[in-house]
Amino acid sequence: MSDEPERIAMPTDRLVDRFGRVHNNLRISVTDRCNIRCTYCMPELVQFLPRQELLTFEEIERFVRVSTALGIDKIRLTGGEPLVRRDLPVLVGKLANVPGIVDVGLTTNGMLLAPAARALFDAGLRRINVSLDTMDPARFERLTRRPGFEKVIEGILAAKEAGFDPVKVNAVAIKGETDEDVVPLGRFAREHGLELRFIEYMPLDAGNAWERDKVLYASEILDLLSRGIGPLSPAPDQDPRAPAVDYDYDDGGGRVGLIASVSRPFCGSCNRVRLTADGKLRNCLFALDETDIRALIRGGAPDSELAEALRESVAAKWEGHQINAANFIKPERLMHSIGG
């Protein structure tokens, strides 16, 4: 077999499922490891994957090159916590330079962001989302089971200084736990020119503690912000394929996005597919089936076979995640091992 990588022709077809949804967004988990233990994401004690089971940077780059031939043009790197993966800016640079990729983003908990922000920006990263559920250090430690609130704030401000614009802050909204954080987070975002995004609490927690009564709904969040800070109106430039519905403050003081995964599922416009850190392809966050891309790559499969596996996975995608259906089945993988 030649050492020269196989070239596949750019096809005219795209990644389209049986419901007509076109997929151009690939979310790649680079590790299942994390330096915090958020209660809604992972258990306190967890056994991580052996490092040899993770896709290498070269394997990730190869799959991305195959994917671009099928219309993938946006990449988001996730974890676990992606910044615990050594030399992550190297991977960012590789992916940013793949022909056809127009956007590389990162979702991080921010703990390790401050010293890495400039290198990530210089490598070609342009979009960054930092997870922060509370402005109270004690509650932060209770939710994450680790100290480090100040490091996250430092990371957010370092990202701004490095040139990321906007810096987005993701907050998981849990009724009875983070209700009183909605307004302080809103004020913090306005003060620093951040774009705040609230995410409804989803059933992917380790302890099976999720209950519908614990979901702080998007409508309730919007009401809290409107009463506590000021009126908001739907943003005029909505992206119909984005998971968040955006609102602008009427006084021009910033934007808030609401990801209503439970109360208003956005499955009908989903354009995303996921690759786990151990190389499993998932066509939905809540998917019950996976395609083993790592086995194909390490087994010597040609690019055309990888492309066909991606095409088949997307084609088989279901209509929606069924959180609100009686027959909903929670996937075996937890959030940290899927990729946020």
Q: Residue 265: which domain range? A: 15-338
Tens-digit pLDDT profile for residues 199-227: 998 766 666 666 788 999 999 999 999 99
Q: How confident is the model at residue 6 (pLDDT cuts 50, 70, 90)?
A: very low
- Residue 2 forms part of a structural domain: no
| Binding annotation for S-adenosyl-L-methionine | 40, 80, 131, 202
pLDDT given at position 207? 64
In this predicted structure, the answer to whether residue 137 has a pLDDT above a threshold of 90 is yes
Please check whether residue 139 is in contact with residue 172, taking contact to mean a CB–CB distance below 8 angstroms: no
pLDDT given at position 12? 46
Residue entry with tokens 């022909």: 99
- Residue 9 forms part of a structural domain: no
| Binding annotation for GTP | 27, 76, 107, 168, 272-274
pLDDT given at position 93? 98
What's the CATH number where 90 sits?
3.20.20.70
In this predicted structure, the answer to whether residue 5 has a pLDDT above a threshold of 50 is no
| Binding annotation for [4Fe-4S] cluster | 34, 38, 41, 267, 270, 284
| Binding annotation | 27, 34, 38, 40-41, 76, 80, 107, 131, 168, 202, 267, 270, 272-274, 284
List the single range of 79-88, 266-275, 330-339 with lowest mean pLDDT: 330-339
List the single range of 112-126, 212-226, 263-277 with lowest mean pLDDT: 263-277
Q: CA of 318: how far to CAs of 102, 115, 288, 306, 322, in Å? A: 27, 41, 10, 21, 10
- Residue 1 forms part of a structural domain: no
Q: How confident is the model at residue 265 (pLDDT cuts 50, 70, 90)?
A: confident
Tens-digit pLDDT profile for residues 281-323: 999 887 889 999 999 999 999 999 999 999 999 999 998 776 6
- Residue 30 forms part of a structural domain: yes
- Residue 3 forms part of a structural domain: no
- Residue 137 forms part of a structural domain: yes
- Residue 5 forms part of a structural domain: no
Average pLDDT over residues 124-128: 97
The pTM score is 0.91
Q: How confident is the model at residue 264 (pLDDT cuts 50, 70, 90)?
A: confident
- Residue 78 forms part of a structural domain: yes
- Going by their DSSP bridges, the two strands 280-282 and 245-249 should be labelled as unpaired
Tens-digit pLDDT profile for residues 80-101: 999 999 999 999 999 999 999 9
In this predicted structure, the answer to whether residue 46 has a pLDDT above a threshold of 80 is yes
Name the percent of the chain lying above pLDDT 90.
Answer: 74
For 240, counting Cβ atoms within 10 Å of its Cβ (0-12 exposed, 13-18 middle, 19+ buried), the class is exposed
Domains contained in the chain, number: 1
